[in-house]
Amino acid sequence: VSKAAGGKVSGHIVAPAGKTWADIYQYVSVDAFDHEGRGNWTDLDLDSNGSFEIPLQPGNYEISLWVSPELKGFGSSEIKFARVGKTALVLENFYLESRNSKIEGSVKTDGGKALPNVEVWAWSEKGGWVSDVTNVNGAYNLTVSPGQWEVGFELLPAEDGSVPPYLPAPPKRVKLTNDQSASINFTAKEAGATVKGAVYAGGKAATDVDAW
């Protein structure tokens, strides 16, 4: 652990129209990381009124907002790039984007069976991230901002911890304009075959070993 050498970034997050800082502060945080994943981050509180300050070591950083998916209808603005020295650097304001475009669809097996409780996510190069969990009909609905998004899904473990017997499909990409909707469906192949075996170490059965 090393103490930051006097460098820091500061800025302000502007509350979107129709919202106050009290409505959104608990859903927003600010990240500042370099290309090797080193940096710092900060949560915000009600008293900050949208202002933030992050101490950092000298270097080049990507500064971005993290907006919780619980804040429906809004997302982060574009990532800012900053070169930090040994003094304070003031960034331009961050604005929360209104998300009024939609990505919806379903996740089913190649046999046509709807898969509930599957996490479907969408990621944007601007730093946006949203996710939803499919309902009993395998359907999901994501509210996103205009732009290009990569959409994929993850099969969550069952309540007993077992892995679902399905193979995931690769992510898909879609580009949306304002107020546009897109339908993206996914198919998970049923894993009909089983591979079994045993692992030994020094002639003894080994436990807690991952097989893939």
- Residues in the chain, total: 212
Beta strands 166-167; 129-133: pairing state: unpaired
| Reported confidence tier of residue 154, pLDDT bands at 50, 70, 90 | very high
Query: CB atoms < 10 A from the CB of 176, how many?
Result: 19
Q: Is there a contact between 28 and 13 (Cβ–Cβ < 8 Å)? A: yes
For 34-135, list the strands marked E by DSSP: 39-43, 51-56, 59-67, 74-75, 80-84, 88-90, 94-95, 97-98, 101-109, 118-124, 129-133
Condensed to tens digits (0 to 9), the pLDDT of residues 93-151 reads: 999 877 889 999 999 999 999 999 999 999 987 767 888 999 999 999 998 888 899 99
Cβ contact 93:83 at 8 Å: no
